[in-house]
Amino acid sequence: MADRLITHLRHVDIAVPDFDKQREFFTNLWGLTPVAEDTGVVFLAAEGSPEQYIVRLRRDRQKRLDLIAYGAATAADVNALAAGLGTAGVRLISEPGTLRTAGGGYGFRFFDVDGRTVEVSADVATRRHRRIEARESIPVRLSHVVVNSPDIARTQAWYERHLGFAHSDTLSHPRNGDMMTFLRCSPQHHSIAIAKGPHVSLHHISFEMRGLDEYMRGTGRLLRAGTRLLWGPGRHGAGDNTFSYFLDPSGNTVEYSTELQIIDEDTWHPSVHDATVAEEQDQWGTANPADEQILKETFNDVDRGLFVAPPL
């Protein structure tokens, strides 16, 4: 914890061919608020979050994960992280400097070990946000992001070594080995998790709801609208959070969640959760079984943006 320079997850940026349909889904159904927009790009905020935006959506011919953005406490921390990554041979996309996106700030970008673009920033202006009221079933904030990697041990080790993430827990199968590892940059159980997949891609983006009632009301709204429910509603073992996984119009998995576990980092010891134990997948027993079709959908398409910096 002493060497950790990253404080939290800021936003996840994606590109899709059917921009208009995806924009409508995020705003009119999922519950995000457009705060800035230009031709082929929109910045989407959560009403309960001080972050300028939590999702950036961009039009492109190919679907891809543009970047994952994290916060740092100070510009000095941004500089220290950039210097450390450069010394370690990590490929930087840009040097620390003034950001030109909503809220400004000071930051830089680089590629992680799998080729994803990562941004770290500080001094970003906060957005005027509000308290989400009872029964208001819209996201409060961005909860976490999960990515697929063919070698989750390598990806985990890279995030621990270079970005100071800590290991919270592992979901493992007795025959197939580790299936997912959960990493944190704060007392929140995980801000990123790495799932074992056949290729590098986005697994899912998770959005925090106000509470259980709002989580269920949001789940119901998506179901009534005919959105495909991939898995849920239920409650995980690792992280103790609720889950309802839906497929968005572009085939990405997005999740409504709440009550992600907050841990005491000074006393926490990682555990191995057995994926064959039904209660580890879903404590409540209310979700559909985690079968091969769910795995196939969450593998997603091969990410076409690896080691290619996004244009914005």
Structural domains present in the chain: 6-122 (3.10.180.10), 141-299 (3.10.180.10)
Q: Do β-strands 141-149 and 201-208 pair in parallel, antiparallel, or remain unpaired?
A: antiparallel
What is the DSSP track for 12-49? EEEEES-HHHHHHIIIIII--EEEEEETTEEEEE-TT-
- Report whether pLDDT(54) > 90: yes
Determine what percent of the chain is predicted with pLDDT higher than 90: 98
pLDDT score at 287: 97
At a CB cut-off of 8 Å and minimum separation 6, what does 202 contact?
14, 65, 145, 146, 147, 148, 252, 253, 300, 303
Across the range 18-39, mean pLDDT stands at 97
Q: What pLDDT score does 254 carry?
A: 98
Distance CA(5)–CA(274), nearest Å, equals 32
Q: What is the pLDDT of residue 219?
A: 98
Q: Dump pLDDT digits (tens) for 217-261.
A: 999 999 999 999 999 999 999 999 999 999 999 999 999 999 999
- The 3-state DSSP class for residue 72 equals strand
DSSP letters along 188-249, please?
A: BS-SEEEEE-SSSEEEEEEEE-SSHHHHHHHHHHHHHTTPPEEEEEEE-STT--EEEEEE-T
148 — pLDDT class (breaks 50, 70, 90): very high
Quick: pLDDT tens for 159-217.
Answer: 999 999 999 999 999 999 999 999 999 999 999 999 999 999 999 999 999 999 999 99
Whole-number pLDDT of residue 289: 93
What's the mean per-residue pLDDT of the chain?
97
Tell whether the model's pLDDT for residue 1 goes beyond 80.
no
For residue 3, the model assigns a pLDDT of: 78
Q: What is the mean pLDDT of residues 102-106?
A: 93
Q: What is the mean pLDDT of residues 140-148?
A: 98
Quickly list H helices, 88-175.
152-163
